Homo-oligomer: A and B are copies of this chain.
Amino acid sequence: MHPVQDHDPERDLLVTRVFNVPRRLIWRAWTEPELLMKWFTPAPWQMVDCSIDLRPGGALRWTMRSPQGEESTHEACYLEVVASERLVWTDALGAGFRPSLQPFIAVSVRLDDDNGATRQTCHVLHKGAATRQAHLDKGFEQGWGACLDQLADVVRGIGT
């Protein structure tokens, strides 16, 4: 049993979605900047810049822009990279595993075959129950739901 598969309902949030495409397309959508930019930021915000160094210790950096032109830039660090199977990253670390200024979550994305489709299971880990609740209060379910709708559109667009 992999450690991040142990779900702790007091501190974690769990989001499962089935996409009607093979795992490798979901993997591409998570790991190619030009695809990630199309879905990883909930509209009406847009991702306007993205770089991916896809290896443990490598950084994911992205910049989001609001309709009013406000921008915010974020950095995370990849922890586990197993193509078409598992991607783990955290914003508690940045490039080269450096501790970050504003740690918040770690995310494990697992992809499983599901009758020709792909079941994606995202575990979102927090340091404690209060942080988990704060994440819910600032719109976790709506934000992730909107992003995953966008992800479904993106993978439909790239075909099989």
Contact = CB atoms under 8 A, between A and B. Distances in A.
Each complex incorporates copies of this chain amounting to 2
A106 B79 contact: no
B103 A125 contact: no
Interface in A102-159: 103-106, 108, 125-128, 131
A101 to B, nearest CB: 5
A47 interface: no
The interface size bin for chain A is 20 to 34
A96 to B, nearest CB: 3
Contact of A90 (B88, B99, B104, B108): B99
Contact of A79 (B95, B97, B105, B125): B97
The 4 closest A-B pairs by CB, nearest first: A3-B96, A92-B99, A99-B127, A3-B57
